[in-house]
Amino acid sequence: MGRSYRTYLSRKFFVCNSCNTHVALFAHLRSKDYYGAFGAAALFEQLFNGIALGKEKEEMRTGRYVVRRILCCHCHSNIGWRYERAYEPSQKIKENLYILELERVSIRCEE
């Protein structure tokens, strides 16, 4: 009998640096290969405890998008954005996904 290991992905999560509000689950991380307004960023399926601002058109390196800024619901720190619409066919996969600014959050692990 070998040793068995269990992984509790749902217990790894991200918190807002300013107020410790829980904002994302590690299990929802799709890719860390992104850049946000403040540096390193990551693509997530879902964010929590965010306030979505109005739609804005954004010109990015990969094309034009309609996005909504996401603020932490508690301290209003700018933690990322949601892709509402991608104009480039190759970027459509990002629609309805979220960018989390990794400079504005910290990872936590509860045992």
As given in the structure block, the two tokens for residue 19 are 């107020």
Q: How far is the CB of 4 from Zn ion (least distance, A)?
A: 38
Sites for Zn ion among residues 49-108 (CB under 5 A): 72, 74-75, 77
Q: Which stretch binds Zn ion (CB under 5 A): 1-9, 11-19, 38-46, 93-101?
A: 11-19
- Cβ-Cβ contacts under 8 Å for 46 (sequence gap 6 or more): 24, 25, 28, 98
Secondary structure (3-state) at 28: helix
Secondary structure (3-state) at 52: strand
Dihedral of the alpha carbons of 55, 59, 61, 63, in degrees to the nearest 10: 80
Residue 15 interacts with Zn ion (CB under 5 A)?
no
Rounded Cα–Cα distance for residues 99 and 27 (Å): 14
- Which of 18, 49, 78, 91 is the binder for Zn ion (CB under 5 A)? 18
Q: Which is nearer to Zn ion, 77 or 94 (CB)?
A: 77
- Which of 14, 16, 47, 97 is the binder for Zn ion (CB under 5 A)? 16
Q: How far is the CB of 16 from Zn ion (least distance, A)?
A: 3
Q: What is the binding site for Zn ion (CB under 5 A)?
A: 16, 18-19, 21, 72, 74-75, 77
